[in-house]
Amino acid sequence: MTETNPQQISVKKILPLILATAIFMQMLDSTILNTSLPSIAKDLHESPLNMQNAIISYVLTLAVFMPASGFLADRFGTKKVFIFSLILFSLGSLFCSMSQNLTHLVISRVIQGVGGSLMTPVGKLALIKTFDKSELLKAMNFAIIPALIGPVLGPLVGGYMVDYLSWHWIFLINIPIGILGIVLGLKYMPDYKSTDVDFDLKGFLIFAAASLLLSISLELFGDMQNISPVLFVFILGFLFLYYYYKHARRGGNPIFPLDLFQVRTFRVGIVGNLATRLGISSVPLLLPLMIQIAYKQSAVTSGWIIAPMALTAMFGKSSVIKILDKYGYRQTLMVNTFIIGTLICLLAIPDIHASLYWFVPIIAILGFFNSIQFTSMNTISIADLRNFQTSSGNSLISVNQQLAIGFGIAFGLIVLKLFESSDLIKGETHNAFRYTFLTVGILTIISGFVFRRLHISDGKNMKSKEE
């Protein structure tokens, strides 16, 4: 970058905070609802099982609209689209709190989902375009912390709000955060546009259909009675992905150009994200479930057990830049993934008579290494993208992360159900969880070899400038 004036310096200080606000709001909202569903169901006179529609409608909306985030930002400007997404998300939250029945809640969640599908990718795009590659690691490192804290605080905050206030507050909490984001965005969000904008409607529809089908299959995997229709939807999703590949090969201006995958660091980042999150994403779901089901503890207790993960993530944030500068992306990501996999395996050691406090140090250390993992994977994925590739590349990374989290949760639940129905555990539910942690941990260790495809010198252009 050229010389920076005071306004640019202010933007560079505030922009990571704006993105952090958006990520925190979205991640908190995605997880806070889970502990509150029984209470909402009772108030709306619905079966708790039907309340899954409130979660599924949000996830599917993200899957459909997220691929368009890059085009919309290029066409209308990052500032307008980001502010619009915050307004939409905040309005959706308000409508959710005012819902009188399940239909109202589902429609409100769809409005929230449209806002959420644009909010984080567009904020991240503005960050990528504002900072030099050498400055981007620090900026992204700050903004990514809410992605680690949100899933941990969500169940805890949700549990307390439902117990001491009412379920309406789990949605109303978004509004002051949204207003803060809007005020900061109006003043500090840069407005990047592209003059060369041609929307690939056919490609968007094909890719959106693929994302939608894969997301539906992931939701069904988590609550499967009959595997056949789930597999059919899953395979259909991949067929649509192949159809998109054939469409993109024909040239034109596809929404996600295939030349993105000629960038090795992007390719490894995408595959690595998908592979390693199979284990990482399942832990915040499986551990609270085990504490509540096997140990017969409350949701609030399970929330406190995993809360240290959020605190140690902050320490990981302060260490990741030094670690990457010293060891490089290849060695850091490989070793870090092996450590995370080993820590997940350690969660399988305590038996049903062990103290719950046994899990606290493991979870605390896991939070530290998760912080390093997410920052490293996010930044290496964009390290070598050219300016004209950033919009589409950033949108695809966001879609990939959303699907990767879904895959991780679904995978953890499938493995758990397989062990529950096997002769290995002899009716002891706790052992089903132990074998699941062991399986997921070993697969996470194996996924670390994906990063062998990186070169030792990869990410050198991301190396931070000395203070």
Mean pLDDT of the chain: 80
Q: Pick the residue with more confidence: 4 or 397?
A: 397
pLDDT digits (tens, 9 = 90+) for 333-389: 999 999 999 999 998 888 777 778 888 899 889 988 988 888 888 888 887 778 777
pLDDT for res 226: 66
| 456 and 320 Cβ atoms separated by less than 8 Å | no
pLDDT for res 467: 35
What confidence tier does 215 reach under pLDDT thresholds 50, 70, 90?
A: confident
pLDDT digits (tens, 9 = 90+) for 108-165: 988 998 998 888 888 888 888 887 777 777 777 777 776 667 666 776 777 777 777 7
- The tokens describing 388, both together, are 């004209």
pLDDT for res 466: 38
pLDDT digits (tens, 9 = 90+) for 249-260: 886 778 788 888
**Between the CA of residue 458 and those of 232, 316, 327, 354, what are the distances in Å?**
39, 21, 11, 44
pLDDT digits (tens, 9 = 90+) for 275-295: 898 888 888 778 877 887 788
User: Yes or no: is domain 7-199 CATH 1.20.1250.20?
Assistant: yes
What is the value of pTM for the model shown? Answer: 0.79
pLDDT for res 24: 79
Q: Residues 260-467: name the CATH superfamily.
A: MFS general substrate transporter like domains (1.20.1250.20)
Q: Pick the residue with more confidence: 202 or 423?
A: 202
pLDDT for res 384: 78
Q: Pick the residue with more confidence: 306 or 248?
A: 248
pLDDT for res 151: 66
Residue 61 has pLDDT above 50, yes or no: yes
